Amino acid sequence: MRSFEAQGSGANIWSHVHDVQRGNVSAFEQVYRTYVSEVRAYLFTLTHDSILAQDLTSETFLRALKSIRSLEDRGRPLRAWLMTIARNIVNDHRRSWSTRHVIPVDVDVLAQACGSVATTEELVVRRELGRRLWRRLETLPPDQCECLVLRYVAGLSVEETAERMCRNKGAVRALQYRAVRKLGRLFAEEGDDSCRAA
């Protein structure tokens, strides 16, 4: 479902924002209804976990409501503001994953990215490879990690990734290039060529 803003009613959604800023908190319901599906889908793309995406969606709108009074209409779509909040929440959450030992992306998806699984033994090896690959992904800057997850795990095009990250295609290509090079260096430094061999 396309948002009202995408349908050319950006001024309409901003009128609800201004109502909230004037103290009519119930007007935020329209902002929520307009964008909740899109924000949830975006967060699912980043986390590959429907329950976590739902939780982070709620957190995104709670944070948006708390900071909406300082929001100014400078010609940027409201959608971009919400997606920035969502991305920041995922980045905050990602920073805590290493201490909680949570793997947010299905390791089977990462393992299959390195080739098809034919036997139980290969499955075990590739699951371990997926875990090691994810640990290396977590060492990348958050925007580089997000770019690779969107491109290679979610399978989005450069254009779709640029839209999700609120960046232009050139910036996404540069992020992807730097992230892949960095991952390659990490594997090389550890003498691990398992992903290439797979």
Domain map of the chain by residue range?
A: 10-99, 105-197
Fold designation for 10-99:
Rna Polymerase Sigma Factor; Chain: A (1.10.1740)
Fold agreement (10-99, 105-197): no
Q: Are 105 and 134 in contact (CB under 8 A)?
A: yes
pLDDT < 50: residue spans in the chain: 1-9, 98-104, 107, 110-111, 114-117, 194-198
Is the Cα torsion angle 132, 84, 151, 1 positive or negative in sign?
positive
Q: For residue 100, what pLDDT is reported? A: 47
The pLDDT, as a whole number, for residue 191 is 64
pLDDT (tens digit per residue) in 123-179: 666 667 767 777 787 788 888 888 887 787 667 788 888 887 888 999 999 999 998
Predicted confidence at residue 163, as pLDDT, reads 83
158 neighbors 174 (Cβ within 8 angstroms): no
pTM: 0.49
- For 105-197, CATH number out of 1.10.10.10, 3.40.50.150, 3.10.150.10, 3.40.50.2300 equals 1.10.10.10
If DSSP states are collapsed to H, E and C, what string results for the chain? Answer: CCCCCCCCCHHHHHHHHHHHHCCCHHHHHHHHHHHHHHHHHHHHHHHCCHHHHHHHHHHHHHHHHHHHHHCCCCCCCHHHHHHHHHHHHHHHHHHHHHHHCCCCCCHHHHHHHCCCCCCHHHHHHHHHHHHHHHHHHHCCCHHHHHHHHHHHHCCCCHHHHHHHHCCCHHHHHHHHHHHHHHHHHHHHHCCCCHHHHC
